[in-house]
Structure 1
Amino acid sequence: MHTIFVSWVLLGLLAACAGRQAEARAFLVFGDSLVDSGNNDYLATTARADSYPYGIDYPTRRPTGRFSNGLNIPDLISEHIGSEPTLPYLSPQLTGQNLLVGANFASAGIGILNDTGFQFLNIIRIYKQLEYFQQYQTRVSALVGPEQAQRLVNEALILITLGGNDFVNNYYLVPFSARSRQFSLPDYVVYLISEYRKVLARLYELGARRVLVTGTGPLGCVPAELAQRSRRGECAVELQRAASLFNPQLADMVNSLNNQIGSDVFIYADAFRMHMNFISNPQAYGFVTSKIACCGQGPYNGVGLCTIVSNLCPNRDLYAFWDSFHPSEKANRIIVQIILTGSNEYMNPMNLSTILALDSKT
């Protein structure tokens, strides 16, 4: 009798755990170095963040392949939805129950276009990330069955960040680049948006039903571009123009996709405006500067990579930029807070808190 009772208790506990597992929402991430959590560590590429001082403020104090001094945007979103950080898709640890937490498919250096980031050699281009997403679904299906797998994907929260590299590591990479000879800037932006639409439509076909789509940040204000193009620390005009053409068209495209689907699947996050807040007035956010990177060399610490021989600031929380391109963990926290609670001028048609509240009712 006693053993039967113990068995029932164990079964009850297992069922409760399974319920909690099902409740914890999967989180899936696609995109470039702003959201890569370490896939490039497993690839023969120069676009990597696997050596000191990357990760200097990460809980393990070690580099993890994140382009940050500590946590990146996906980590901070995971924190808010109450789940473990998603593992890189190429990580050998992404098996069993870890698959149910989600996966990060992002790869530093990639863009919307296949020829973006070609100089980095082996990176996971966006359609390869989508292939891996299909593979991921097959693996989840083998674990929990096809119906549960489909439910997990349909109910997952998804983040995609693309576009910046199509300007910085393609159109403006060198003077008279192939793409800048082929397209005027306004025409290039129209082309990028039409290609991005195909990517988002494919995500939807693969089962994505809640997707945060971030626009590009202020590309002309990152330390790398200040070092290259700025005389007196002003943001580089041409790159700012690129971002100001791209972002409104991305917002419109997201809106028109939602209208076509008849549901708010895609949520536009205005990363440009989020960044400009602390770039225009760093002191209001506790930063001493938004022009000089914490880690780097040359003007604005914006030249080359962040390495062991770079200048390194003692307090990362005082810098809006960690390296020549990427925000510090403190800046990432400010961005994620706006993703969570921002008004319609930042998050359209709704912010992440509203999404979480809505989806918990269904």
Structure 2
Amino acid sequence: MESPHAIPNIIFILFIWFAFIIYVQAQSQTTVTKKKPSALFVFGDSTVDPGNNNYIRTPMKSNFPPYGRDFINHIPTGRFSNGRLVTDFIASYIGVKDTVPAYLDPTLTIQDLMTGVSFASAGSGFDPLTATLSSAIKLEQQLEYFKEYKSKMEMFIGKEGIADLINKSVFMLSAGTNDYIVNYYGLGESVTGVLYPNVTSYNNFLLQNIEQFIKELANEGARKIAMVGLPPMGCVPGEITLNGDVSRRKCVESMCSVATEYNVLLENKLKGMQISGVKLYYADIYKPILDMIQFGQSKLGFDDVSTGCCGSGYIEAAVLCNMNSPVCDDASKYVFWDSVHPTEKAYQYIFTTLRPIVDMVLNDN
């Protein structure tokens, strides 16, 4: 006669067996979603510049305290934040390295170069005039540095080796904010405003430059290119101070509308471009930054969403945020580090929202 405990025992064994199968499948899927690329290469402005501006003559520097206060060993590397950038979190997540170094750093080893570098320069943009206004490295020059990089690496790993490395790498481009804040509506307004009398014409000009840059990058072997859109520019503390409601620290809606229009055009441009063998991706940072500003105090653990941690929080950036500036005790409670750039915690939150895009990039064949 069958034991009354037999059936429950069988059910328990089947439960354990199915749980094991589900676990194995989940582990297998996790492995698939994190295919490791050979390297990460970055182009753009201060949002992704880890210190290239340290090695050129420009006022756009941040290689001094209190910048880097929460970075590894509290070193001010030239990153415009208190700690790591989005690209550092991405590099760590995809398994190529802990942080992305600046290409112009003369102390880089071959291994540093092998796994990717950033060519970005704080103050740069898609309009060549933008970089000129800040004495930054133009996007065209950043591309020339990439070509120089390839020539250097070819000496060590050969022509086929560098071609294979580039083919299996991920490329990221983050710029555009300076084109509007510094150039079109700022220092370059007298020149750019005459050439492009309305923002729509300027948008089209920038998109043409972006398309040309992507094509040239593809000609150099890039196969996976992620393009970052604009943030809600009107919510940047410095922009609020100069053009917004200072007493209530409300975003400048007109500037946010410009960013929204540009992002739609950029996303459509990327969808419409057809380059054989090349995958293009749009990375949205507008929504996560706006979410931090709108819901940061109630849901995300931020105490201050409209001023920077460094200085008064209203206007200081670069040399205006320095050792003599008052600095908040805990930058993790702030969305912005200075009047323009996010804190490490904010960058980390942005990364978490971009992670599905990163996984898509890694899995695309």
Would the TM-score normalized by the shorter structure come out above 0.5? yes
Q: TM bucket by the smaller chain?
A: 0.7 to 0.9
Structure-2 residue corresponding to 1:275: 289
1:110 aligns with 2:124: yes
Aligned length, in residue pairs: 324
* Alignment partners' CA distance in 2, 1:32 and 1:175: 17
Structure-2 residue corresponding to 1:289: 304
Read off the aligned partner of 1:352 and give its amino acid letter: V
Structure-2 residue corresponding to 1:244: 260
Deviations 1:53-75 (A, max 9, x none): 00000011020000110011111
What are the equivalent positions in structure 2 for 1:1-362 lying under 5 Å apart? 25-84=38-97, 85-121=99-135, 123-174=136-187, 176-183=189-196, 184-231=198-245, 232-257=248-273, 260-261=274-275, 265-283=279-297, 284-297=299-312, 300-303=313-316, 305-341=320-356, 351-358=357-364
Structure-1 residue corresponding to 2:20: none
- Structure 1 outlier segments of 4+, above 6 Å: none
Q: Which structure has the greater CA radius of gyration?
A: 2
Report the Cα offset of residue 96 of structure 1: 2.1
Tell whether the 8 Å contact from 1:32 to 1:161 is kept in structure 2 after alignment. yes
Q: Aligned Cα RMSD in Å?
A: 1.7
* Alignment partners' CA distance in 2, 1:138 and 1:71: 29
Read off the aligned partner of 2:358 and give its amino acid letter: L
Q: TM-score under structure 2 normalisation?
A: 0.85
Structure 1 unaligned spans of 5+? 1-22, 342-350
* Alignment partners' CA distance in 1, 2:250 and 2:140: 36
Which protein has greater RCO, CA pairs closer than 8 Å, 6+ apart? 2
Structure-1 residue corresponding to 2:12: none
Which stretch of structure 1 is more off in the superposition, 153-162 or 229-238? 229-238
Q: TM-score under structure 1 normalisation?
A: 0.86
Read off the aligned partner of 2:290 and give its amino acid letter: M
* Alignment partners' CA distance in 1, 2:326 and 2:190: 31
Report the Cα offset of residue 175 of structure 1: 8.7
Read off the aligned partner of 1:190 and give its amino acid letter: N
* Alignment partners' CA distance in 2, 1:270 and 1:77: 15
* Alignment partners' CA distance in 2, 1:100 and 1:256: 32
> Which secondary structure state, in structure 2, belongs to the residue aligned with residue 75 of structure 1?
helix
Read off the aligned partner of 2:343 and give its amino acid letter: S
Deviations 1:105-133 (A, max 9, x none): 00000000110042322x21100000111
